[in-house]
Amino acid sequence: MSELKKINTALISVFHKDGLDEIVNALAADGVKFISTGGTKSFIESLGHECQAVEDLTGYPSIFGGRVKTLHPKIFGGILNRRSLEGDRNEAAQFEIPGIDLVIVDLYPFEATVASGASHADIIEKIDIGGISLIRAAAKNYDDVVIVASKKQYAFLAGMLDAHGASSTAEERLLLARDAFSVSSAYDSAIFNYFDKTACADIEQPTGLRVAVDGSMTMRYGENPHQQGRFFGDFNAMFDQLHGKEISYNNLLDIDAAVSLIDEFDTTTVAILKHNNACGLASRGTVAEAWRDALAGDPVSAFGGVIIANREIDAVSAEEINKIFFEVIIAPAYSDDALTILKQKKNRIILVQKEAERPAKVMRSVLNGVLVQDRDTKDETADDLKLVSGDSLSDDVAADMLFANKIVKHSKSNAIVLAKNRMLLGSGVGQTSRVDALRHAIEKANSFELDLKGSVMASDAFFPFADCVEIADKAGVTAVIQPGGSIRDTDSVDYCRDHGMTMVMTGFRHFKH
């Protein structure tokens, strides 16, 4: 541990005071003097401690409606002067600038103000100037100054004070400075994004991309062992890991695909995924029944896959699931008996999925930049089904169509899904030809002796020719759901009409590359 530096004076100006009393009391007990403004000054004094007002130190009141309070050489000189330089020490003495060794500050809630729908004028007033300047100044001079830029760092500071009183190590100051610049960069990114969206409405938007993601998790490796991999984000906000080994890069890709897919279903559903695609999926009355039929769809590909359910895993279903090897299981909850069963394999990753909002935008690095698009949240309903072949559409067939369409939406293009009675019978994914995707789906269903008679076919994009519906018809498929949009749509429609097949068009393509 490096040499400790004493904290003699602290500047504190915050909105969030939860937990601050413990910190202030600890500082005061060690003889630290306080400088503050407004409500924070009153808070410190309510704890029985003296506190100098910023305006008494600077000789200036808060002016311009509070826009200028701390922006003064006696404040910033007190933070930025380098204690190790004789010239800085002499100037500080000459201009009667007291040293400030600790800065605790938080920023005006800019993003929350934008999200609240406030007026442009109110949003502008929530652009913090003094606070962000204090953060940057103290973080720049971390060699001499401790900076706490968010209530998230209160616990760290409290632990530091508990460990060695009102003093700090160089390592602690550097860590807090890093966190401070994380706060300031995220804040500036939010402001830029707001201005880019609203202030330049006459030009193409957006003009740039500013993204700030806190939290980092090391992967065992990337897609392959010779590649390094990291995840930037808050995994723990979405999941509790109850058991198992460290999560890998490929695990995360499959987990993301699994969560995106299961979110489509309201009824009790279990899905099995392999390489981001569903190889088994069924909706049933119980988790055990859904698992049985999901596994039946492709028991071979299920080996080493990711399992996800949208209901609690009970002991009955856990007993059946435990019979195969898999990497990850995800559910909103597990019974105690189920956990005992599933934890029998030490490396098996067991996750509890929490309620968490997912980003509205999807990003992907390409070439020397980043592609950004809206998340595909279109969820077709019965109202989207335009009947183009067949006299009528039964509720049961419509339900199977929508079921299959949910799966094909989350399958790599080109994709075909075959389903019946809310069970995935076969899928062809990631093919260069839609015909190849269909043939692969049929071959898989046949290899597991699944009856395609009376099944439905879903396609992620239109059919340019009638070949797919003809092949499907001969395999036993009786109903088709597709987006439509080909200049030769009539070829497929006419075939269905001539051969007694039902076809609907939704108008929504679901490419997934």
One fold for both 229-353 and 383-505? yes
What does CATH list as the number for 383-505?
3.40.140.20
pTM of the predicted protein model:
0.88
pLDDT at 201: 63
> Is 353 in contact with 238 (CB distance < 8 Å)?
yes
pLDDT at 197: 84
Q: What is the DSSP letter of 382?
A: G
pLDDT at 15: 84
If you classify domain 229-353 with CATH, what class do you get?
A: alpha beta
Q: Which of 311, 296, 313, 319 is nearest to 350 (CA)?
A: 313
pLDDT in tens, 203-254: 667 888 888 898 889 998 999 999 999 999 999 999 999 999 999 999 999 9
pLDDT at 203: 65
Q: What is the largest distance, in Å, between two alpha-carbon atoms of the chain?
A: 97
> Is 273 in contact with 306 (CB distance < 8 Å)?
yes
Strand partners, 36: 12, 53
Catalytic residues: 140, 275
Three-state SS string over 64-95 comes to CCCCECCCCHHHHHHHHCCCCCHHHHHHHHHC
- Residue with the two structure tokens 């950004």: 372
> Is 287 in contact with 268 (CB distance < 8 Å)?
yes
Q: Which of 508, 482, 367 is nearest to 416 (CA)?
A: 482
Determine the number of helices (DSSP H) and then strands (DSSP E) in the chain. Answer: 19, 23
Q: Measured at the alpha carbon of residue 276, what is the angle toward residues 311 and 479, in degrees to the nearest 5?
A: 80
The ranges of the chain with pLDDT < 70 are 1, 199-204
- Residue with the two structure tokens 């050489």: 73
Per-domain boundaries in the chain? 5-198, 229-353, 383-505
If you classify domain 5-198 with CATH, what class do you get?
A: alpha beta
Give the whole-angstrom CA distance, residue 284 versus residue 282. Answer: 6
